[in-house]
Amino acid sequence: MSREIVPRASYLIARNGRFYFDMRVPVDVAAAFGSKTIRFSLRTNERSKALRLMGKHLDHYMEHFDELRRTGKAEQALAEKTASNDISKLSRAELERLVTGYYRDVLRPPLSAGQPTTKTATSLSRVGATPSLM
């Protein structure tokens, strides 16, 4: 089965004269989406029609991924992965999000030079640190 990547249309693949939509799902929403890739036939052998259909499907999936991020379903899928305490299953983007959240919620220096904020003090007490050590 021949497989040819069509130039300048990174989400199109031509196979045996037919065009296919082919897209990787962003890693931060893959668990919530339920798949790592999206691939299906556009049911055409005309490049111009395939490009129009590709744009339509690309817009649809990008909006869907944004919706998953907005509604927190991507975060929920991340929480389910981290509940097992096996970080080897996390993607790089998921690890970066966890580290950023940890810094924001726990390690971020207080807003003023005085005492830490209530939220920071509470977060520090959860991890066993004392505010005076910061």
Digit-coded pLDDT (tens) for 90-131: 667 777 777 777 777 777 666 655 555 555 455 445 544 444
CA distance 35 to 126: 35
Distance CA 68, CA 35 (A): 13
Q: What is the pTM of this model?
A: 0.54
pLDDT at 56 over 80: yes
Q: 68 and 14: one domain?
A: yes
Q: Nearest to residue 53, comparing CAs of 105, 13, 109, 4?
A: 13
DSSP strands (E only) in the chain:
4-5, 12-15, 18-24, 37-41
Tell me the C-alpha distance between 73 and 34, whole Å. 11
Residue 113's domain spans which residues?
Answer: 95-133
What is the β-pairing status of strands 18-24 and 4-5?
A: unpaired
Percentage above 70 pLDDT, the chain: 67
Report if residue 89 sits inside a domain: no
Cα–Cα distance for residue pair 49/118, rounded to 1 Å: 58
Do 28 and 65 lie in a common domain?
Answer: yes
Same domain, 110 and 61: no
- Going by pLDDT thresholds of 50, 70 and 90, the confidence category of residue 33 is confident
As for how many domains the chain has, the answer is 2
